[in-house]
Copies of this chain bind each other. A is one copy, B any other.
Amino acid sequence: MSIPSYLDLRQKTRARDRSLRDKVMSLEEAAALVADGDSLAIGGCTASRTPMAMIWALIRAGKRDLEVSRSIVSTEGDLLYASGVSRHIITSWFSQGIVWGVSKVMRAYTESKRARFEEWSHMAMGLRYRAGAMGVPFMPMRSMLGSGVLDRTEGAKTMECPFTGETLLLVPALNPEVAIIHVQRCDAYGNAQIDGLTFMDIDMAMAANKVILTTERIVSNEQIRRHPDQTKIGFFTVDAVVEVPFGCAPHECYGLYEPFYTHMDLYAQMTARDADTGAKAYLDRFYHEPKNWADYLSRIGMAELLDAQRRGSGIYDD
């Protein structure tokens, strides 16, 4: 755990082309922007707005040793472990989801020490991204103190507040090398609108040294400029834009589709008995064998997709 010096952080930002330019590319081209060993932040939370298509592309591209961070990690964490893309995940909670019990793959990898799950409090994760977004080395906060969670993390420091004398915790800035974030729509330059829950994505985009956006739909810059107060992630932070319909499947994308629950159940079943062979079989069938993203969606199934979409758009029925 080391914090970059301020000049190093600024140098990385300065070196980026932050101008208003077309950044549209394919999943494969975007995957090439991620180097083995990079720190990688993942947008969304649990089974919501997970940039699954980008993760799919990183796994297919055979990336290695990414230090992954996310607010809360679900099935995508299992797959990052099982594929070897990551052996170190920094998050506050890691399992498929409460209704599916404790993730067998997470357990298998962490209990055997093949992989590390570095646990911070949820707010600490958020404030670490926020410090990174603000260009300061830390944020002060008032939780995690006194807990085992604090004891097992690296880099947080307690301080006596110079104003009040109170004990505060300073959590270190997180400036991931790359952030991958999925949005409902953005323009070719990367001006993104996000409907519904934004999780930690806005701070994450500002904190990262490189941002890859996947989007359900690319819209015109004119449409963005008609409602600039709806832009949640600005073009100047974005390095790649990839259009991927149903890019979170089998997770949800707010207002468009809910989780593909039957497929989530299938995943839980496949990994229930033997985590290693189950995850490998799942990766083969849904990650390595599909010809392309449409083929991946086909394997999940058209009926599931239509059902998830019907439930997803239902949030706007009122």
Contacts and interface: CB of A to CB of B under 8 A. Distances in A.
Contacts of A198: 229
A208 to B, nearest CB: 19
Contact of A136 (B141, B155, B162, B318): B141
A239 B52 CA distance: 43
Number of copies: 2
A22 to B, nearest CB: 22
A132 interface: no
Given A157-B163, A196-B229, 12 more contacts: A5-B164, A5-B166, A6-B166, A136-B142, A137-B161, A137-B164, A137-B166, A140-B140, A157-B162, A163-B172, A198-B229, A225-B318
Interface string A230-256: 000000000000000000000000000
Contacts of A318: 225-226
A298 B28 CA distance: 64
Contacts of A141: 136
A84 interface: no
A312 interface: no
Interface string A155-198: 10101011110101010110000000000000000000001111
29 contacts: A3-B163, A3-B164, A5-B166, A6-B142, A6-B166, A135-B142, A136-B140, A136-B141, A136-B142, A136-B168, A137-B140, A137-B161, A137-B163, A138-B140, A138-B161, A138-B163, A139-B140, A157-B162, A157-B163, A159-B162, A162-B170, A163-B170, A163-B172, A163-B173, A195-B229, A196-B229, A197-B229, A198-B229, A226-B318
